[in-house]
Chains A and B, each alone.
Chain A
Amino acid sequence: MKYPNRIFGADAAPYTSHNTQQFPLGQVMELPNGKIFRYALMGGTVGVANKLYQAVTGAGAWDSLAVVTCALGASTISLTNGGTAITENNFAEGSVVEETAAGLGHCYPVKSNTAAGAATCVFTLADGVVVQNALTAGVHTMTVEPNPWNGIVITTAAAASQTAMIVGVPLVVIAVAGYGWVQTHGVCSCVVDAAAAATPADKLRPSEDDAGGVALMKCDEAATADAGEIAWNMFTTPDQDFGHVFLMIE
Chain B
Amino acid sequence: MNFAHVIQGSDGDQYGDQVTALYPIGQKMVLPDGRVFRYATVAGAAGVANKLYQSSAAVANWNTQTVAVTACAIGDSTLQMTDGGTAITNADEGSVLFEDVLGLGHIYFVDRQQPTSAAENPLFFKPGVVAQFAAATPVLTFIKNPWQDIIITPGTALTAIPCGVPPSIIAQSDWGWVQTMGVCSCLLEGTPIIGECVRASEGTGGAVTVQDYTEANHADAGTLGRCIEVAPNGDFGLIYLRME
- Nearest chain A CB to B241 CB, angstrom units: 13
Chain A residues, Cβ within 8 Å of B129? 11-12, 15
Q: Is the CB of B214 within 8 A of A34?
A: no
Does A88 interact with chain B (Cβ within 8 Å)? no
Q: Is the CB of B58 within 8 A of A234?
A: yes
Q: Is the CB of A201 within 8 A of B99?
A: no
Q: Which residue in A51, A203, A240, A248 is a CB contact (below 8 Å) of B221? A: A203
Does B226 interact with chain A (Cβ within 8 Å)? no
Does A143 interact with chain B (Cβ within 8 Å)? no
Interface set, chain A 82-100, CB cutoff 8 A to B = none
Does B63 interact with chain A (Cβ within 8 Å)? yes
Chain B residues, Cβ within 8 Å of A219? 213-215, 219-220
Q: Is the CB of A201 within 8 A of B132?
A: no
- Nearest chain A CB to B15 CB, angstrom units: 21
Say which size band chain B's interface belongs to.
35 or more
Does B158 interact with chain A (Cβ within 8 Å)? yes
Q: Which residue in A10, A50, A220 is a CB contact (below 8 Å) of B105? A: A50
| Main secondary structure on B side of the interface with A | loop
Does B6 interact with chain A (Cβ within 8 Å)? yes
Q: Is the CB of B54 within 8 A of A244?
A: no
Chain A residues, Cβ within 8 Å of B119? none
Does B157 interact with chain A (Cβ within 8 Å)? yes
Mask: chain B, 51-83; 1 = CB below 8 Å from A; 0 = not: 000110110000100000000000000000000
Q: Is the CB of B107 within 8 A of A202?
A: no
- Nearest chain B CB to A83 CB, angstrom units: 41
> In the complex the two chains form, what is the Cα distance from A30 to B162 in whole Å?
22
Q: Which residue in B6, B145, B244 is a CB contact (below 8 Å) of A248? A: B244
Chain B residues, Cβ within 8 Å of A200? 57-58, 158-161
Q: Is the CB of B99 within 8 A of A242?
A: yes
> In the complex the two chains form, what is the Cα distance from A217 to B211 in whole Å?
14
- Nearest chain B CB to A20 CB, angstrom units: 22
**Seed contacts A189-B107, A202-B222, A232-B162; 7 additional CB < 8 Å A-B pairs:** A33-B24, A50-B107, A171-B132, A189-B98, A201-B200, A219-B213, A234-B161
User: Interface residues, chain A, CB within 8 Å of chain B?
Assistant: 8, 10-12, 15, 30-34, 49-51, 171-172, 185-191, 199-203, 216-220, 225, 229, 232-235, 237-238, 240-244, 246, 248
Q: List 15 A-B contacts (CB under 8 A).
A: A15-B129, A33-B109, A34-B5, A50-B104, A50-B105, A189-B107, A200-B160, A201-B200, A202-B220, A202-B221, A203-B222, A242-B103, A242-B107, A243-B97, A243-B99
